[in-house]
Amino acid sequence: MSRCFSVYAAALVALVALVALAGCGSSKPGSGQLPAAASAPATASPSVTASPSVTAATSPPTPASPSARAAGPIDVQDVSFVSAGQGWVLGSGELVTTTDGGASWTRLPGPPAGAAHIRFASPQVGYAWSAAGPLWITTDGAASWHPGGLTQVLSLETAAGWVWSIAGTQPYPNIWRAPVGSTAWTNLGLTPDRSATLTVHGDVAYVVGQAGAGPIPPSLDVFAGTEPVRHESLPCAQGQTYVPFVPLGTSTDGLVYLVCDVMNNQPSPPAQTQLAYESVNEGGSWSAGHPPPPQPPQGVTAIVGERFAWNSGPDLYMLTGHGWQVSLIDRGHGFSLVGFETNTQGVALGTNGYLWITRNGGTSWSRVTVPRA
């Protein structure tokens, strides 16, 4: 899944509860309804370390008790897709899967107790975690789980045979990388600033360090496969400006989309605005041109020809050739995750546990009620 919500590390982690994937990872806005089938009743130079400096729990997880499961649909906490058809939903102490894009769901064995997030790399290999507990990994399609080799995981994304994570003691967690299915993590060093977001596309991971005390200007670290980290400058961190937050997302074709929430400290009173940029060479250079979102976003993502942005409010915005428009509304709430598997299919997860799917690139969305299988 191409994600632009990436999950937030450190101080930002409390804002969101999935990503992913290059990521950040997400969904698109729409105004109509999908076909009936979609509405079931329903991601310094590296120093290599064979094992992480943090230790995972060694006892097996205890699945949630069946007696604790109430009636009614699943209150979705996280969602992960590896293709247009195959996906997983975590919530209400249950883990369920679909092979037909959400038309029907099958219950899997209970997830590790306390798990709040999931990411799957393939139908067999997946990860489950909470910020306060250990990372768990399955290599048999969620039939069983065992320690994944990290603790205090703040975000995790996977693509192209790699899994990336921000994990460790706050306020200075580390960036980690491992081959999918392995628990031998490589420590790539500290995040750029005290809080950071993780976005993944293919074998490239983007870590945006957000503004810290001082303030510390935002920064971007780019990890391409096993190559040394590239420290790239952000186009908005210039002059007398304060940039408290810089959401970054990737498109399904690898384009990097960046929105800077900028405050110019020279005017009185200071002027707040947003600036939008794009990069076609993995953050090596940036170009402006498209108008920024109408509201300061918490997350952004993209597909070919369209851009998406969301914040703490109820609206998911979509940018097309006709400008920004509201694509989806989660009334009274907001969105914690928006991501696309293809240029046409994506998901959006509301902070109220509602799951939405689009099959036409965000033109319309349908709420998917995930039943207790």
Identify the pLDDT of residue 308.
Answer: 97
Question: How many other CB atoms sit within 10 Å of the CB of residue 83?
Answer: 14
In the chain, what is the greatest distance between 2 CA atoms, to the nearest angstrom? 60
pLDDT band at residue 72 under the 50/70/90 scheme: confident
Residues with Cβ within 8 Å of 351's Cβ and at least 6 positions away in sequence, in order, are 17, 330, 333, 334, 335, 336
pLDDT (tens digit per residue) in 245-271? 899 999 999 999 999 988 755 556 656
pLDDT (tens digit per residue) in 206-238? 999 876 655 667 789 999 988 999 998 888 877
Question: How many other CB atoms sit within 10 Å of the CB of residue 21?
Answer: 33
Contact in structure between 316 and 335 (CB atoms under 8 Å): yes
With tokens 């209400």, the residue in question is 92
**Phi (first) and psi of residue 153, to 5 degrees:** -80, 125
Average pLDDT over residues 9-23: 34
Contact in structure between 314 and 308 (CB atoms under 8 Å): no
Q: What DSSP state is assigned to residue 225?
A: T
Distances from the Cα of 120 to the Cαs of 1, 38, 75, 248, 270, in angstroms?
Answer: 10, 21, 19, 22, 44
Contact in structure between 111 and 91 (CB atoms under 8 Å): no
The DSSP line for 330-366 is: -TTS-EEEEEESSSS-EEEEETTS-EEEESSTTSB-E
Task: Give the neighbor-by-neighbor strand order of the sheet with 196-201.
Answer: 196-201, 204-209, 219-224, 230-232
Average pLDDT over residues 88-101: 95
pLDDT (tens digit per residue) in 347-364? 999 999 999 999 999 999
Q: What DSSP state is assigned to residue 68?
A: G
Strands 196-201 and 186-190: unpaired
pLDDT above 90: residue 304:
yes
